[in-house]
Structure 1
Amino acid sequence: MEDTVIVDTSYSAIINAPLDNIDIPAWCFSLPDEEYQGCSPAHVAAGATRARDGRRMSINVEVIGGTPMVQHYVEQKSSPHHLLLRSISDLFTSSGRTTMEVNWELSVKAMDDGRCEFTNRVYTRPTEEFSAYLDRQGIPFDLFRAQRQPVSAAHNAGETPLFAASIERHALRHAKAAA
């Protein structure tokens, strides 16, 4: 299945907060719209809701490589230091609407008593609808992948340190509230 991965990017940044103060799902599912927008110029809006089966969902709207996307990230695995979300995301292109599977994995591990390493991984795969969309356009999958990878990598590289700073603020704010 590796040949069907469109993009797989992973970047890390430092969080200046103790591991015990960090709760990635609590941050993700309470992330204010303005805070999300501050983590990338490509971020338009964010909110949280529940999927039909009751699992938590983060709704994110962003524009990557000129393509507006609405992501419906449903919680797959969740613990304070690891969150895996999966979305069948809507893409709005000049040639019409389609979908793509986007997986967003956030994790943190302690470096010492007061610092952690945050990792932001995003990997995407085509849906059947997306493959049909490329076929209708006459775009070879490998060509699309080659063009999408640098755009997605640049986006992830830019947002990762800003997400880390946001998680750090969340961790420190909640540590003060608990004290």
Structure 2
Amino acid sequence: MAAPVEDHEIVDSSFTAIINAPIEKIDIPNWCFALSEHEYQGCSPAHIAAGFTTTPDGKRMSINVEIIGGSLMVQHYVETLGRKDHLILESVSDLFTPTGRTTIHVHWELSVKAIDSRRCEFTNHVRSWATKEFMAFFERQGIPFEVLRSQRQPMSIAHKKGETPLFAASIERAALRN
């Protein structure tokens, strides 16, 4: 997996929502890797498609397709931590812009903590960084990184803010079915 350019963070956003289910019934990795395309699409108008597979070494992978800020993204999220209450996924995502294709490194972390015996707080935390390919792609076009970051941040943050309560509701439905 291509390493992010650490000093070129694009977005760090985190939002929370309440899940009305006991923590014992929640299994975020099970939800993520069994999420139907229809359920994924219901979590944001920007969500196009979802599926899951495995990497060549057997790690679980969630494939998500969405449009953020007019750019199509194909995310290849590989599970790096998979506990019932905490899932961390890493992706070098394909980013299709009006001027061509590049990549972006995305770290997606989903977690829950009990509020009481019947409710949990869900956190949807996303960080993204430019890859070396991303930096070179936009440098060839004469677009400074700070301009890209200032344009991408509000769109990405708005997307996460909108999908967080809908992800929480989807996780709640899955928990209450179990």
Could you tell me which runs of 5 or more consecutive residues in structure 2 were left unpaired when the two chains were aligned. none
Please tell me the root mean square deviation across aligned C-alpha atoms, in Å: 0.9
Q: Distance in 2 between matches of 1:53 and 1:128?
A: 25
Q: Distance in 1 between matches of 2:173 and 2:150?
A: 36
SS in 1 for 2:35: coil
Q: 1:60 aligns with which of 61, 64, 78?
A: 64
* 1:156 paired to 2:160: yes
* Residue equivalent to 2:104: 100
* Residue equivalent to 1:143: 147
Q: Distance in 1 between matches of 2:155 and 2:121?
A: 24
Q: Distance in 2 between matches of 1:161 and 1:134?
A: 33
Q: Distance in 2 between matches of 1:52 and 1:12?
A: 33
Q: 1:27 aligns with which of 28, 31, 39?
A: 31
The answer (yes or no) to whether the contact 2:14–2:123 under 8 Å persists in 1 is yes
SS in 2 for 1:129: helix
Q: Tell me the alpha carbon deviations over residues 78-108 of structure 1, each in whole angstroms, 9 at most, x when there is no partner.
A: 1000000000000111111100001110000
Aligned length: 174
Q: Distance in 2 between matches of 1:5 and 1:100?
A: 10
Q: Distance in 1 between matches of 2:44 and 2:76?
A: 18
Show structure 1 runs of 4+ deviating over 4 A.
Answer: none
Q: Tell me the alpha carbon deviations over residues 92-149 of structure 1, each in whole angstroms, 9 at most, x when there is no partner.
A: 1111110000111000000000000000001101111001011011111111101111
- Larger deviation, residues 55-64 vs 87-96: 87-96
* Residue equivalent to 1:91: 95
Q: 2:10 aligns with which of 6, 17, 21?
A: 6
Q: Return the TM-score normalized by structure 1.
A: 0.96
* AA in 2 matched with 1:158: G
* Residue equivalent to 2:49: 45
Identity of aligned residues (%): 66
* 1:131 paired to 2:135: yes
SS in 2 for 1:112: coil
More helix by share: 1
Q: Distance in 2 between matches of 1:125 and 1:82?
A: 22
For residue 3 of structure 1, report the CA deviation from its aligned partner.
Answer: 3.5
* AA in 1 matched with 2:64: N
The answer (yes or no) to whether the contact 2:6–2:129 under 8 Å persists in 1 is no
Q: Distance in 1 between matches of 2:87 and 2:7?
A: 25
